Homo-oligomer: A and B are copies of this chain.
Amino acid sequence: MFSQRIEGLRPSPIRSILEVIDRPGMVSFAGGLPATDMLPEWSGSVPPSVLQYGPSEGEPALRAEVSRRLMDLGVDAPPHRVMILSGSQQGIDLVAKLLVDPGTPTAVDDPTYLAALQVFRFYGARFVDLAASSNEDARLAYVVPTFGNPTGACMSAVDRDRLAERCLREDTVLFEDDPYRDLVYDPCDRTPVAARMAGGQWIYQGSFSKTFAPGLRLGFIAASADLFDKLVMIKQATDLHTSRLSQHIVLDALTAPGWTARIDRLADFYRERRDTFDAALTRHFQNLATWERPKGGLFFWLRLTQRLDTRPLLAAAIERGVAFMPGEEFSPDLPDLGTMRLNFSHARADDADHGLAILADLLG
C-alpha cells in the first residue's frame, strides 16, 4: 500500500544516533554538529510584515547578498538565480525530484554524504562511481569537493578542472554541495567546481548551518539558467518558501560588520579542536588506523588497519558512552570495511580524549 520508493526506506543511522547523543555523559563523534559554545545568541524583534507569506525564491536582500558572495567565488550566480532553502538537505531533495527517475545513473564518490545517498536512492537512482570511467554517461554528478563529508578531503585544483571538463563533455549536471567551505584551517584550493562550468549545467548549494546556526534551517542554491526555474517551481510545491524569520536573522548577521571576524573566530576555535583531536588520535589510534589531518570541515576519516565492519561496533560503543559514525554507511553500494568518521567539532578536549580511549579499547 505504500509507494514503491518506500521499499528501500530504512531508518537513517544518523537518526538512531541522534536519539542517544543527548544522554548525559555521552561523548559524540557521530554527528556533524557545530560546537554549541560557538552558536550565536539572537535577540531582536520581528515586524509583522516578515511574518506574512513570502516568495518561494526567498527574500530579495538575502538572495542579493548570497549572490554577491558566489560571484566573488567565480560562480555565475546573479541574484535572480539564487534561491533560499530550508537547509541544504532540502536542496538534495529538490535536485533529486528534478533529475532522478528510477534507474537514473547518478555519479557519486565512494564514500560520500550518506543523507544524499539516502535521498537519491529514495527516488530510484542507480549509482555510478565518480572515480571510475564508465561506459555510460551519468545524468548528474554529486560532489562535496571542499572538506567533503565523510572524508574531510579537499579536492585539488587539477581534479576540480577534470571533473568540470568531464561534466561538460558528457552533458552531466554538476551538483556541488559546499556546506563546509568557510571552515578552513590550512590553505588549499577551494574555488568551486561550479565556477569552472561556463556553458554547462550546474547546481551549487551552501548552508548557514556550519557558519551560523543549524537550528534555523537555512541554506541556498544557485543553478544554471536551464535548471533554476524548475527548482523554484519544485520548491514552491515542497514548502511554499523558507521561514522568513530565519532569513531575516541570517541576513542581519551576514551584513553586520562582525561576520568575517565571526568566521575567523570559528576557524580558530575548530582548528584548535582539530589539532587537539589529532594529538589524541595519535595517542590512542597510532597502531590501529591511518588518517590525514583535514584542512577544513568537521571530520577525521579513519582507515582501520583491521578490515572489520565497524557497524556492529556502534552499539557497544554507545553502551560505553561514545557515539561514532561507521564509515561503511557512506558507501553507495558494497563498502570497503574498516572505516570510521569522527567529528571533532562537538566534543570538548577531555571528552574527546576519553572517548577515543574507549573506542581504541573496543578495537584493540
Residues of A within 8 A of B (CB): 1-6, 9-12, 14-15, 18, 31, 33-34, 36-37, 39-56, 86-87, 89-90, 93, 97-101, 104, 115, 118-119, 122-123, 139, 171, 173, 209, 212-217, 230, 233-234, 236-246, 249
- With CB as the reference atom, state the residue of chain B lying closest to A213: B51
Q: Is the CB of A34 within 8 A of B52?
A: yes
Taking CB atoms, residues of chain B closer than 8 Å to A240 are: 87, 89, 115, 217
Known: A47-B41, A48-B41, A97-B5. A53 touches B241 (CB 8 A): no
Given contacts A119-B237, A237-B122, A239-B90, contact A2 B230 (CB under 8 A): yes
In whole angstroms, what is the CA distance A242 to B215 when docked? Answer: 8
Sample of 17 more A-B contacts, CB < 8 Å, known A3-B104, A36-B49, A217-B243: A1-B99, A1-B173, A3-B101, A9-B233, A18-B55, A31-B53, A33-B52, A39-B48, A53-B209, A53-B214, A86-B217, A90-B238, A93-B239, A217-B240, A245-B245, A245-B246, A245-B249
Given contacts A48-B39, A101-B4, contact A217 B237 (CB under 8 A): no
A55 / chain B contacts, CB cutoff of 8 Å: 18
Taken together as a complex, chains A and B put the C-alpha atoms of A115 and B234 apart, in Å, by 11
Q: How far is the CB of A139 from chain B (nearest CB, A)?
A: 6
Given A53-B214, A101-B4, A244-B215, A42 and B46 contact (CB-CB distance below 8 Å) = yes
- Of chain B, the residue at the smallest CB distance from A3 is B101
Bound Cα distance A212, B243 (Å): 13
The reply to whether A51 and B46 contact each other, CB–CB distance below 8 Å, is no
CB < 8 Å neighbour of A215 from B33, B40, B50, B216: B50
> Residue of B at shortest CB range from A10?
B233
